[in-house]
């Protein structure tokens, strides 16, 4: 099976029903995507497929319909994505485990709704759990990223 992940083409020899999460982590050694609950409820495994936020633990590799982007492909160390930069500015991460999924969900939100309201942020981020409870910082970071993206 062929997959394009973070702009690179990969050939993987896996069953089509293998969750994308395990293809990324175990076959391609891409560790930014995390295993959380395994039932698409926590959001730690969130990646983008053609810009759409999806839960990779419940997306079969054979069902991938486009290019996959993980946290490793969202920005670069030299040029962070606006959401990544805002996360640092607002010191969102505490334990950090959920953060790659949170950032990927937030980036997808801002690509769809460039200037979201608090209600739109809450609705979009509702399925991403943060055990440390940094939801106020997450919302602030999304607003900062929104402003940055509109200015730049």
Domain residues for the domain of 136 are: 82-151
pLDDT of 83 reads 98
70 and 8 within one domain: yes
Residue 59 belongs to domain with CATH number: 3.10.20.30
pLDDT at 38 > cutoff 80: yes
pLDDT digits (tens, 9 = 90+) for 82-131: 999 999 999 999 998 999 999 999 999 999 999 999 999 999 999 999 99
Domain finish residue from 74, 103, 136: 74
Q: What is the pLDDT of residue 48?
A: 98
Instruction: Summarize the confidence of residues 38-60 as an average pLDDT.
Output: 97
As a whole number of angstroms, the distance between CA 12 and CA 30 comes to 13
Predicted structure pTM score: 0.96
Domain tally for the chain?
2
Could you give the CA distance from residue 121 to residue 66 in angstroms, rounded to a whole number? Answer: 25
DSSP per-residue codes, 74-132? H--SSS--HHHHHHHHTT--SS-TTHHHHHHHHHHHHHH-SS--HHHHHHHHTT---TT
């Amino acid at each position: 099976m062929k997959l394009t992940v973070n702009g690179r083409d990969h050939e993987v020899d896996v069953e089509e029903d293998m969750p994308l999460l395990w293809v990324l982590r175990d076959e391609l050694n891409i560790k930014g995507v995390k295993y959380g609950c395994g039932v698409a409820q926590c959001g730690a495994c969130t990646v983008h497929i053609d810009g759409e936020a999806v839960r990779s633990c419940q997306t079969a590799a054979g069902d991938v319909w486009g290019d996959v982007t993980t946290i490793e492909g969202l920005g670069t160390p030299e040029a962070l994505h606006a959401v990544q930069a805002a996360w640092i500015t607002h010191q969102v991460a505490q334990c950090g485990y959920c953060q790659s999924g949170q950032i990927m969900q937030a980036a997808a939100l801002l690509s769809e709704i460039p200037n979201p309201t608090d209600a739109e942020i809450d609705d979009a981020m509702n399925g991403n759990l943060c055990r440390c409870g940094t939801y106020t910082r997450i919302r602030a970071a999304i607003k900062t990223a929104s402003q940055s993206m509109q200015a730049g």
